[in-house]
Amino acid sequence: MTMDFIISVIITVVGISTPILLAATGEVIVEKSGVLNLGVEGMMLIGAITGFAVTFATLNPWLGVVAAASAGAAISMVFGVLVLSLGSNQVATGLALAILGIGLSTLIGTGFTGMIVPQFSSIFPSALSQDPFWRVIFGYSPLVYIALAMIFAVGWFLNKTRAGLVLRAVGENDLSAHSIGYSVIGIRYMAIAFGGAMAGIAGSYFSMVITPMWAERMTAGRGWIALALVVFAGWKAGRLVVGAYLFGALMTLELYAKASGFQFLPSQFWASMPYVMAIVVLAVISYRDRSGSEAPACLGKPFLPNS
């Protein structure tokens, strides 16, 4: 096994893991505030088409990413109004958001099939990003570094800042947080918007980095994997990285198995692996945490104090 091969495997794993990492980082904040948003897949698709369309129009991928984040946050507000202001069921509403995102992205995307957008240029000098060895550190899309920076930022925010403490308090005990004067609903709106923005960026990674093209349902269920990843990580930012790269390794295995014509197991076996693994991982994690002490105590429960 050559160094070159190992490096290209690492690059594939990191690249393919990044969108689920981005989306899961956002969802950790949402769930820490006590809200379960199942609509990640839909928000990702909205981000994917918006990022693509804006990049296509402006030829600037950075504007595309900003637009993807904004669109993700905007569509998440539909969910926010329903579950926060109207106290609707979070599971059903999240699902509605996923269905809406799938439909809306397909509708907007019909005009963009077959188009190509300019890609990000590397933020590092080509001496580093193109170097056969150093590309393992410097050769990624800027979004990969943004994803890692966001993990640190979110970990720091949750554990080291006062605002992070308040967010966790809202998710652990909404009534207490409310009674000492924090706006439970307001904080949850912000958390949902952040989750939407991160899912939007995650989606744009598909249409702007993985393939610089738009295709219907191109996120292919990765949004649901991101939700499983949050449980896997025990709602801790640091552990998300480990989990994301684990899933990334599985998806890479699928790619290599297909490319090498590796015939002793059918390609569908490899394609179903990330989902099977997600189930196994969820089972192991949930068994270890039978009492449910790791999950935010108010996760999924509506908060309507004046009723």
Partner 1 sequence: MRIKLEKRAEPSRFMLFATPVAAVILTILIGAVLFQSLGYDGLGTVKEIFFTPILASYKWQDVATKAAPLILIALGLSLGNQAKVWNIGAEGQYIAGALAGALVAYFTPQVTSHWIIIPMILAGVLGGAAWAAIPAFLKTKLNVNEVLTSLMLVYVALQLLGYLVTGPWKDPNGHNFPQTAPFSDAQLLPHSIAGTVIPPGLVIAFGLMLVFWLVVSRSVYGFQVRVVGAAPSAARYAGFSANRTVWSTLLISGGMAGLAGILEATSQLGQLNLGFPSNYGFTAIIVSFLGRLHPVGVFIAGIVLAITYVGGQVAQTTVHVPSASGGIFQALMLFLILAGDVLVRYRLVFKS
* Chain positions contacting partner 1, by CB under 8 A: 38, 78, 82, 86-89, 91-93, 95-96, 99-100, 102-104, 106-108, 110, 216, 221, 224, 227-228, 231, 266, 268-269, 271-272, 275-276, 278-279, 282-283, 286-287, 290, 292, 304, 306-307
- Least Å distance, CB 180 to partner 1, is 22
- Least Å distance, CB 290 to partner 1, is 5
- Least Å distance, CB 235 to partner 1, is 13
Which residue, 139 or 248, is less far from partner 1 as judged by CB?
248
Start-to-end CA span in the chain (Å): 65
The pair phi, psi for residue 215, each rounded to 5°, is -140, 145
Query: CA angle, corner 119, sides to 113 and 121, nearest 5?
Result: 180
Which residue, 3 or 99, is less far from partner 1 as judged by CB?
99
Which residue, 83 or 144, is less far from partner 1 as judged by CB?
83
- Least Å distance, CB 126 to partner 1, is 39
Which residue, 239 or 301, is less far from partner 1 as judged by CB?
301
Which residue, 87 or 238, is less far from partner 1 as judged by CB?
87
Residue by residue, DSSP assigns the chain as: --HHHHHHHHHHHHHHHHHHHHHHHHHHHHHHTT---TTHHHHHHHHHHHHHHHHHHHS-HHHHHHHHHHHHHHHHHHHHIIIIIS---HHHHHHHHHHHHHHHHHHHHGGGTT---PPPPPSS-HHHHSSTTTHHHH-S-HHHHHHHHHHHHHHHHHHH-HHHHHHHHHHH-HHHHHHTT--HHHHHHHHHHHHHHHHHHHHHHIIIII-SS--TTTTTTHHHHHHHHHHHTTT-HHHHHHHHHHHHHHHHHHHHHHHTT-TTS-HHHHHHHHHHHHHHHHHHHHHHTTT--SS-TTTT----TT-
- Least Å distance, CB 98 to partner 1, is 9
Distance CA 217, CA 214 (A): 9
Contact yes or no for 110/104 (Cβ under 8 A): no
- Least Å distance, CB 220 to partner 1, is 9
Which residue, 63 or 95, is less far from partner 1 as judged by CB?
95
- Least Å distance, CB 253 to partner 1, is 14
Residue with tokens 């998440």: 76
Which residue, 193 or 225, is less far from partner 1 as judged by CB?
225
- Least Å distance, CB 268 to partner 1, is 4
Which residue, 99 or 123, is less far from partner 1 as judged by CB?
99
Residue 207 tokens, joined = 């249409």
